[in-house]
Structures are given as C-alpha cells and as structure tokens.
Amino acid sequence: MIGSFMLALLLILLLLALAASLRVLREYERGVVFMLGRFLAVKGPGLVLLIPAFQQMVRVSLRLVVMDIPKQDVITRDNVSVKVNAVLYFKVVDPQHAVIRVENYLMATSQLAQTTLRAVLGKHDLDALLSERDRLNLDVQKILDTQTDAWGIKVTNVEIKDVDIDLTMVRAIARQAEAERERRAKVIHAEGELQAATKLSEAAEILGRHPQALQLRYLETLTVIAADKNSTIVFPLPLDIVGPLLEAAKARLAPASEVRP
C-alpha cells in the first residue's frame, strides 16, 4: 500500500517536473536560455525542453513593434517652440543582445527615440521642419538604428506625425506667407512690364526704320476705330505726312507775297 502511494507520488512529481520543463514558442518568438545564469543558446520556435531549477528562458518577440513617441517640446534653430510627436517602427533581430545587453529594450528604445527626436529637430529651422519631413525622418531613423544596433534592434522607420505650433506663431506664419505671395505677384507684374516695354521698344525701332510700315499701322488703327460705329473719329496724322503738304502750301503763297508793294 505504501509502495503504491509512493509510486503515485513519484509519478505526479515527475509529471509536474515535465510540465515545468516544457515550453512552446510561437513562430514569431525566440527563447534565450540560461544555464545556471550563463547564456546557453537561443531556441525556438516550437517545443523547448528545459531542465528545471538549472535552466531559465526569456521569451523575445521578433514581430515589428509600433511605438508612439509622446509629444516633445522642441526649440528649433530659429528659436521657435513647437511640440512634435512621432511613430517609431523597430524589431528585434538578435534576441541574445536584446536580453543581455540592455535591461528593458522597449523602454530603452523609447527613451532614446525621444532624446534623438529633440536633438535632430532642434538643429533645423521651422520651415525645414514643416516642409522637409521625409529628410528629417530619415535622419532620425539612421541615428536610432546606429545606436540600437548594439542591442540587437533594427529601426526600420520613423514618421513625424504632428507639429503643434503656438497660435500667435501660426498667425505670424500666415502673414509671412501672404507677404511672400504679394512679393511674388509684384515681381511677376514687374517682369511682365519689362518684357512688354522691351517688345514695344523693338517694335518702335522697326517702325522707325520703315515709314511705310508706320503708315500701314495708322491705317489699321483707323480700321479698328471705324468698326466701333463711332460718330466722331479723331485720328492724328504723323508729321512726315503733313510736312510736305505744309511746305507745298508755303511755296504757293510765297510769290503772291512778293508782288505786294
């Protein structure tokens, strides 16, 4: 009776020990196994058998982690205070380093991302922060990837989400944009006037070399005016047309004046 009880107890203890020594790792998981506190191997996925009380295992997920970087107070290079938040994408590529070289790789990566975001954005102007996000995202991603490489972590992407600007600064930016649009409009208008003046000068020079072309131009203008059904048309005559007529009239009047006593 006592022998059968001991056998049953031994069997139960054996089953408990077997259950404690078995681990099942999913496809996206790896197990970092330690033997008496020393690193032994990285195992998984599938069934992993451990020696109770001698071996311990730490689970590590290899899936892509999407981490939200909370809003950071950033002072840009042109002394503008903004609040910026971003999204960080990374994954573990070396489970051994992620467990051994850093205590909590999630917390460490989050803190490093916050400080790096402030440091990188603080080196640029507000205009660059608003218009060159792709380049800034790439700069932050490269710095983070370099620094987390020793932890067995690969930073795949960083995306700046929102840039919150003070209301007074928003108004100042709006006034600046309006002034810039007015400046461009004036420049375009001035360029148009310059081109028109240049063409008119060229046309005047050509007409001056060809009086017949000038007369044709006058006739064409007269045709256009007459098409409007005006009752009165005032049409100036050029001096080169009127001049010969005046000289002829003077020549006819000259003999008559000489005959008078």
DSSP 114-127: HHHHHHHHTTS-HH
DSSP 59-112: EEE-SPEEEEEEEEEEE-TTS-EEEEEEEEEEEES-HHHHHHS-S-HHHHHHHH
pLDDT in tens, 42-95: 998 998 988 888 889 999 999 999 999 999 999 888 888 899 999 999 999 999
Final residue before a domain boundary, out of 170, 185, 205: 170
Q: How confident is the model at residue 106 (pLDDT cuts 50, 70, 90)?
A: very high
The pLDDT of residue 261 is 46
Q: Please enumerate in sequence order all residues whose Cβ is within 8 A of that of 245, keeping only pairs 6 or more positions apart, or say none.
A: none
Q: Are residues 117 and 145 in the same domain?
A: yes
Token pair for 82: 């903004």
Q: How confident is the model at residue 177 (pLDDT cuts 50, 70, 90)?
A: confident
Please name the helix (run of DSSP H) or strand (run of DSSP E) that holds residue 164, with its range, or none. strand 153-165
Domain count, the chain: 2
Q: How many residues does the chain have?
A: 261
In a domain, 156, yes or no: yes
Count CB neighbours of 83 within 10 A. 14
Q: Are 29 and 61 in contact (CB under 8 A)?
A: yes
pLDDT in tens, 21-49: 888 999 999 999 999 999 999 998 998 98
Mean pLDDT of 145-174: 87
Final residue before a domain boundary, out of 128, 150, 170: 170
Strands 65-75 and 22-25, by their bridges, are unpaired
**Model's pTM, two decimal places?**
0.65
In a domain, 132, yes or no: yes
pLDDT in tens, 226-248: 666 655 666 566 666 666 666 77
Measured CA to CA, the distance from residue 21 to residue 51 in angstroms comes to 6
Q: Are residues 124 and 144 in the same domain?
A: yes
Block residue for tokens 């400080």:
115
Measured CA to CA, the distance from residue 104 to residue 107 in angstroms comes to 6
Block residue for tokens 């420049």:
187
In a domain, 89, yes or no: yes
Q: Are residues 100 and 163 in the same domain?
A: yes
The pLDDT of residue 1 is 65
Mean pLDDT of 145-163: 94
CA distances from 227 to 186, 214, 222, 237 (A): 36, 20, 9, 19
Token pair for 91: 């994954």
Measured CA to CA, the distance from residue 95 to residue 32 in angstroms comes to 7
Which residues pair with residue 31 across a beta bridge?
A: 43, 59
Q: Are residues 115 and 149 in the same domain?
A: yes
Q: Are 82 and 74 in contact (CB under 8 A)?
A: yes
CA distances from 190 to 181, 195, 197, 199 (A): 14, 9, 10, 14
The rounded mean pLDDT for the chain is 83
Give the residue numbers spanning the domain of 19. 11-61
User: Which regions of 201-245 does DSSP assign to beta strands (E)?
Assistant: none
With a pLDDT cut of 70, the percent of the chain lying above it is 80
List the CATH number of the domain containing 74: 3.30.479.30
In a domain, 257, yes or no: no
The pLDDT of residue 259 is 47
Final residue before a domain boundary, out of 146, 170, 194: 170
pLDDT in tens, 197-237: 888 788 777 766 766 666 667 667 767 666 666 556 665 66
Single out the residue of 109, 105, 94 nearest to residue 39, CA to CA: 94
